[in-house]
Structure 1
Amino acid sequence: MSEENLPIQTNLEAIDLKLQLEQLQKEYDAMEQKVQALKNLIHLHLADEIVEVQELTILYKELKSAKKQQRLQQKQRGKNYVAPKGLQVVSKSSKDENVSHSKEKKRLYREAMLYVHPDTFSMQPEQTELATEVTAKLIQVYKEGDLKALQAYHAHIFSDASLTPLTANASVTIHASGTSHIVTEIDALKVQIDELRNSPLYKTLTEYENPYTYVDELKVYYKDRLVKLRKRTRKAFK
C-alpha cells in the first residue's frame, strides 16, 4: 500500500514522525558542528603534542613488552645470564627522497593520526583499542613505507566505517511507506544525541564560558604527559 492510499490518521502519524525525525537531525547536526569546531580548535593548538603523545605511548608499550620478554628469557636461561648487546638499527630516509613526497607523507600522516587518535573515540570506549592498533600501524607505515603505501593506508582509515567517530555527521534516510522504521530511526538518533550530549567535548562546551580556557588546560596536561613519556622512552633514542 502506497503512502497516498494509507488512512488519513496513518498519514498524519507518518508526517508527524518525519517532522520529529527532521527536528532531531537538525538538533544533532547543530551539536555535532559545535563539537567539531572545538576539535578543530584543539588540533590547531595541540596537533604536534597529540601526535607525539600517541607515538611515545605506543613506543612505551613496545619497550615494556620487549623488557618483559627479555626478563622471561633470562629467567629461562638462568639468573646470571646476560644477553649480548647488538647494534641498534636506526632506519633513515633515503637521501635522494623527493622533498615534496616527504612533505606529503607528513601531511597524510598527521591528518590520519588526528582523525583516528584514540582520544577522538572518547564517546566510544569500545573503539579505543581498535584506534590504538590502527595508530600503531599508521606509525609503522609512515616510518617504513613509501608515499604510495601511506596513501593507501590513509584511504583505508578514512573509508573504514568501523573507524568513523561518533561525531561524524549522521545521515538519516526517510522511506516512503510505513512508520515503524521512522520510530526506529528516531530512537537511534535520540541515543546518538544523548551520547553526544554526555561526551567530554560537548560537556566542555556547556561548562566552559571560553573554550580557550579548556585548550590552555589541555596544553598543561599534554606538557606534563610528554615529560613523563619522554623520560620513560629516553633509552630508545640513545
Structure 2
Amino acid sequence: MFKFMLKIYIIYLILVAFLPTLLGRIFHYNVIYKSKRNFPCVSITFDDGPDPLYTPILLSLLDKYKIKACFFLLADKVEKYPELSKKIVESGHEIGVHGYKHHINWFLGPKATYNEFIKSIEVIKNITGKYPSYYRPPWGLFTLFVYRSAKKLNMKIVLWSYMSWDWKVKNPDIIVKNILKKIKSGQILIFHDSSTNIASDKKAPGVMIKALEDIIKGIQEKNIKIVDINQFIFTKGDFNEKYI
C-alpha cells in the first residue's frame, strides 16, 4: 500500500509541480523573462527583502544613479519592516510578491496556494498602499495552482534572463565580470537584498551591493538603459524616450 501511494504521489508531483516548473523555467510559458523591444534596455529586480540592513543602502545607491527597480517582497518581512516597505514605494520603485514566506510552493494545494497569494497581496497593499501586479515564485518553482492563482488575480509572473548567483558568490568582482560579460539588451537581472533563506551566504547582499555600482556603470557604458519593469514590459509601439 505504501509503495502504491508513493507512486501516486510521485505522479502527482510530476504533473502538478515538475512539468509546470519545466514549462515556466525552460520554455517560459506564460512568464515574462525578457523584452523584445528595439530600444536597448534592461531591468533590475531584487528578491527576498525588505532587509533592515541592506535595503536602505541599496535604495541610496539606486537613488544615486536615478534607477528604478522592482522589489519582489516577502509579505512576512513587509509586516516586520513596514516603514522600510513604504520607503521602497515612496522612492518610486515597483513592487511584486515573492510569497508570504520563502518556502517551496510544491507542497501547497490549490486552496493554500490561492490563500497565500491573497494574504501576501493584502499585507503588501495595506502597508505600502500599492497593489502588487507582479509575482515571482520562490526559487522559480511553479505548480499548476501558481499559474491559476496568478491568472485569477491578474498578476504577471516575472522571472529573469540571467542568474548572477549573487546569493552565494563571495567576490564582488566575479559578479561584475559575469554580468557584464553576458549582459545584453532585453534582459531582466535578478539580485537579492536579503540573506535569511536556506543556502544563501549571510554576507551575500553586502557583496552584491559592492558589485552593483560597477555593474550599473558597466551597463551604462554599453549604452544600455536601465528601466523599471513597467517600462520594460510595455509592448505597444516603440520605446519612447519620455519613459526613461
* Structure with the greater alpha carbon radius of gyration: 1
In proportion to residue count, which structure has more strand? 2
**Higher RCO (C-alpha 8 Å, min separation 6):** 1
Q: TM-score, normalised by structure 1?
A: 0.26
Higher helix share goes to which structure? 1
